[in-house]
A and B are shown apart, each in its own frame.
Chain A
Amino acid sequence: EAGVAQSPRYKIIEKRQSVAFWCNPISGHATLYWYQQILGQGPKLLIQFQNNGVVDDSQLPKDRFSAERLKGVDSTLKIQPAKLEDSAVYLCASSRRDGSYNEQFFGPGTRLTVL
């Protein structure tokens, strides 16, 4: 079974530029999560999708961040315009809707550096 795929793995941009990250979850996983992990901290949930509907986006800075999950599969996370404090690793995870653990499977992450 293929894992969660993310691209790009690394991205360096100037502040005020825009950037987009892509995530392909494990096949059949209905739930998809985007996390922001700032260096030295635990992951913070930005947005959670159930199929293509948003379940929780309470911690998403909506003035600059947006995300979509068309057709309930792939997802993109966009930052526009980026700020210095957006430098972080952006982790995508997926889980089955109904499973004994509902554990999340994580992708390798995208490391964003904003200069």
Chain B
Amino acid sequence: AQKITQTQPGMFVQEKEAVTLDCTYDTSDPSYGLFWYKQPSSGEMIFLIYQGSYDQQNATEGRYSLNFQKARKSANLVISASQLGDSAMYFCAMREGTSGTYKYIFGTGTRLKVLA
């Protein structure tokens, strides 16, 4: 079974509008972390935002926010005021385990295209 599911292979958004990229996860571990990474066409993976399973507040980092719904096991990324430079692949990832033995699992990604 997929542990990280990203159901949107591709998304379009108009410049300056907000967009939500979906991510659902599956784990029985009570302690876990959720990450979003951006991968431009150049190939490097860029860390965007992190949400811990025990965090009460939704994470925010500038124009990025994470809509964390623990009961639904979803961790959607919201990008506000989209910019042309946001066009890239976006990966949701989950970290399970304990310090020193963490395991990371990535989803299949969503390709976002921002339109001028």
Contact = CB atoms under 8 A, between A and B. Distances in A.
Interface size bracket, B side: 20 to 34
Interface residues of A, number: 27
A56 B91 contact: no
A42 B43 contact: no
Overall SS of chain A's interface: strand
Contact of B101 (A43, A50, A93): A50
B113 to A, nearest CB: 15
Interface string A79-103: 0000000000101010101100111
Contact of B104 (A33, A89, A97, A105): A33
Contacts of A48: 103
A42 B107 contact: yes
B50 A103 contact: yes
A108 B101 CA distance: 24
A83 B17 CA distance: 44
A25 interface: no
A31 interface: yes
B29 interface: no
Contact of A108 (B43, B50, B99): B43
Contacts of B102: 31, 95, 102
A115 interface: no
A50 B100 CA distance: 7
B45 A45 contact: no
Contacts of A95: 102
A44 interface: yes
Interface of A: 31, 33, 41-45, 48, 50, 55-56, 89, 91, 93, 95, 97-98, 101-109, 111
